[in-house]
Structure 1
Amino acid sequence: MSEGDSEFDPEAAEEREIGREMVDQSTGLGSVAAHLYRGEVHRAVDWRGRLDTTTNWAVTVMSAIVAYAFSGDVSHAVILAGVIVGTAFLFIEARRFQDYDIWRSRVRVLQENLFANALDPSAGVERAAWRKELSDDYRNPSPKISYRGAFSHRLRRVYLPLITAMLIGWLFHLWAFTPDEPFPESAALPGIDGTVIAVAVGLYYLTLLVLAVPLTSKERGESGSADHGDLEQ
């Protein structure tokens, strides 16, 4: 008996065989898996569309606000209001990304452990207990990424560049429309000293930079190492 036979693991063998069974045997598993996978992909695409809609609205509204701010003698406070609006969209999109990630994670588990195994059973499966994890997730669905993680992901991918561009536009607006006043005095608003406004904006941007730092591999991307452990939380 070979060394591999002496270390035979029935559980691992069963997991490996599920891919071959789906292709080689008429058990109905292939049809069920195909419908399940198609449904999960549809829901992932649907939630991806909601994310894109939020992003499109954010870009459109923030661009319109900047365009209005430079259309004439308009207060620089309009641009700061646009930054606040962009932040509100960010909070909404982080929540939507959490929901999207539920379906995306299931699709990746099926791809890695079922369909990849069906194509090449000799390579085995990514996780031995993937069917149990997926079953538990169907019984008790829950987000696979924290709200902070989702917030960081969308901030880094979309909103930090947008808000950075708006704040650069804000500084340019101060320079172009109040050339006779030095910064930060030019940032003053009625009843609020310019230094206070400048410090508040600086602290706000510094907070965004801190929140944009990913704390886990999953927060860094949507595939590869970020997908391992999706259903284990």
Structure 2
Amino acid sequence: MGEPNDEFNPEEPDARDVAAEVAEERSEFMSLMPHYYRGEVSQMSTRLDRLDLTIDWAIAVIVAMLALSFQSTGSPPYFLLIGMFALVMFLLFDVRRYRTYDATRSRVRMIEENVFANAFDPKGSVHRDWRQKLGHDLRTPTLKVSVWEALSRRLKHIYFPLETVLVVAWLFRITAFVPKETPVETAAVPGISGEFVIVGVLCFYVATALLTFWPTTREAKGEFHGEKPGEWKVEK
């Protein structure tokens, strides 16, 4: 007699429905849920660490530019302009990482709202199709937050205050720090007049302020700050 064939064939109907019994059996489903939840929380924590790392690098670069610019009266003030440019680059990295972090956080919040919250308060409301929504998002992961909302939120909470520090330091650097020169003379960059640099920095700051405080539709799910969370987004 031949030995039984234990090889896994993904084309067989039983193989394609390998987890179907878990969906039907309540005990099997509840035993699977903690493992899945821990995996999602671990992934969310990893992506949050990447966000924190981006912020740490941005602060380190700003501190270095401030130290170089105020080292002496002969130090060029355009080090602070380099810091502003670097801050924009870190912001772009941060926005992309924030959107992927929010996608994982949204799944975590969906589980907490409909499994754990309901376990503590069975009379509370739940999303009746939350399992289908989770399954769809696991099959075709989508970003839940638009670029503009992510940009506005990250500017408001982190990067706009850092940019304000750089702009205030730059204004002090071209005015009071070198009293023997006019602000236009001090602000000049090799090949660029001081007037053009001053107008460019002020326009850049005003444009950033508009991006920061311009009203946007709230789509991020599961945050605090006293705002009503947005609806679960299947696609964005």
1:226 CA displacement: 5.3
Q: Which has the higher contact order (CA 8 A, sep 6+)?
A: 1
**Partners of 2:87 and 2:163 within 8 A in 1:** yes
1:202 CA displacement: 0.9
For residues 1-20 of structure 1, what are the structure 2 equivalents within 5 Å?
none
Match of 2:15 in 1: none
Query: What is the distance in 1 between the residues matched to 2:221 and 2:183?
Result: 37
Q: Provide, for residues 11-30 of structure 1, a one-character-per-residue CA deviation record: whole Å limited to 9, x for no partner.
A: xxxxxxxxxxxxxx961222
1:209 CA displacement: 1.0
Root-mean-square deviation (CA, aligned residues, Å) is 2.0
Give the TM-score, by structure 2 length.
Answer: 0.81
- Whichever residue aligns with residue 230 of structure 2, its letter is H
More helix by share: 1
Match of 1:141 in 2: 141
Match of 1:164 in 2: 164
Q: Provide, for residues 120-143 of structure 1, a one-character-per-residue CA deviation record: whole Å limited to 9, x for no partner.
A: 212231x22222211111111011
Distance 1:110 1:228, change over 3 A: farther
Match of 1:32 in 2: 32
Unpaired runs of 5+ residues, structure 1, are: 1-24
Match of 2:76 in 1: 75
- Whichever residue aligns with residue 86 of structure 1, its letter is L
- Whichever residue aligns with residue 57 of structure 1, its letter is W
**Partners of 2:106 and 2:222 within 8 A in 1:** no
Query: What is the distance in 1 between the residues matched to 2:221 and 2:185?
Result: 39
Q: How many residue pairs get matched? A: 208
- % of aligned pairs identical? 38
Match of 1:230 in 2: 232
Query: What is the distance in 2 between the residues matched to 1:169 and 1:91?
Result: 23
Give the TM-score, by structure 1 length.
Answer: 0.82
Query: What is the distance in 2 between the residues matched to 1:77 and 1:192?
Result: 11
Q: Is 1:41–2:34 an aligned residue pair?
A: no
- Whichever residue aligns with residue 160 of structure 1, its letter is F
For residues 40-189 of structure 1, what are the structure 2 equivalents within 5 Å?
40-72=40-72, 73-125=74-126, 127-189=127-189
Distance 1:84 1:62, change over 3 A: same
- Whichever residue aligns with residue 115 of structure 1, its letter is F
Query: What is the distance in 1 between the residues matched to 2:193 and 2:150?
Result: 35
Per the alignment, in what secondary structure is the counterpart of residue 27 of structure 2?
A: coil
